[in-house]
Amino acid sequence: MQSLGVRLIMAAVVLAMAATAQAPTTFQPVGNMSQLMIDIIYPTSDALFYVDRDPPKNEHEWSLLRGQALILAESGNLIMMAGRARDQENWIKYSKIMIDLGKTAFKAAQAKDLDGIRALNDPLNDVCVNCHLQYRPGYHKRPAPDAK
């Protein structure tokens, strides 16, 4: 029979192991927000926005489109990470909408539903524009053309 001290030490070790196993993962961002937008989010959203330029014709092309939709959805999670989220209000709201639209596009691509993907064009454009208007300095503010 184990002594009370040994049982307490074993219990403490078990609790410490459980706490360590449940500790949140520390994320390690690699790219900055601009890099995420240019290298990940723009290309994936463009694949959906411009799907009619070259609609998927076979299983491989549907698989590629499905992957783009999945990347777009998961990108919403990336931009909500600590250190990237600009605030806990509209930034999070827009990010969650992007996740939902990406998830819907993913499901449409799984079902090979081109009309379903087309139907996401306006809502996706709206969330992108609204987010950029609020968080991207100078968005839609082109300089006036030079008067000659």
Domain count, the chain: 1
Helix (H, G, I), strand (E, B) or coil at 36: helix
The whole-number pLDDT of residue 140 equals 79
122: domain range?
A: 30-134
Cα angle, residue 101 at apex, residues 100 and 105 outer, rounded to 5°: 120
The span from the CA of 49 to the CA of 51, in Å, is: 6
With tokens 């969330």, the residue in question is 127
22 within a domain of the structure (yes/no): no
The span from the CA of 68 to the CA of 74, in Å, is: 10
CA distances from 11 to 6, 7, 15, 17, 126 (A): 9, 6, 6, 10, 54
The whole-number pLDDT of residue 19 equals 54
Look at the alpha carbons of 140, 115, 62, 69 in this order and tell me if their dihedral is positive or negative: positive
The whole-number pLDDT of residue 20 equals 53
Q: Which positions of the chain have pLDDT values less than 50?
A: none
9 within a domain of the structure (yes/no): no
14 within a domain of the structure (yes/no): no
The whole-number pLDDT of residue 2 equals 54
102 within a domain of the structure (yes/no): yes
104 within a domain of the structure (yes/no): yes
The whole-number pLDDT of residue 9 equals 65
pTM for this model (two decimals): 0.78
3 within a domain of the structure (yes/no): no
Contacts of 100 (CB under 8 A, 6+ apart): 73
CA distances from 44 to 36, 103, 116, 127 (A): 11, 13, 16, 15
142 within a domain of the structure (yes/no): no
Q: What is the pLDDT of residues 28-67, one digit of tens each?
A: 888 999 999 999 999 999 999 999 999 999 999 999 999 9
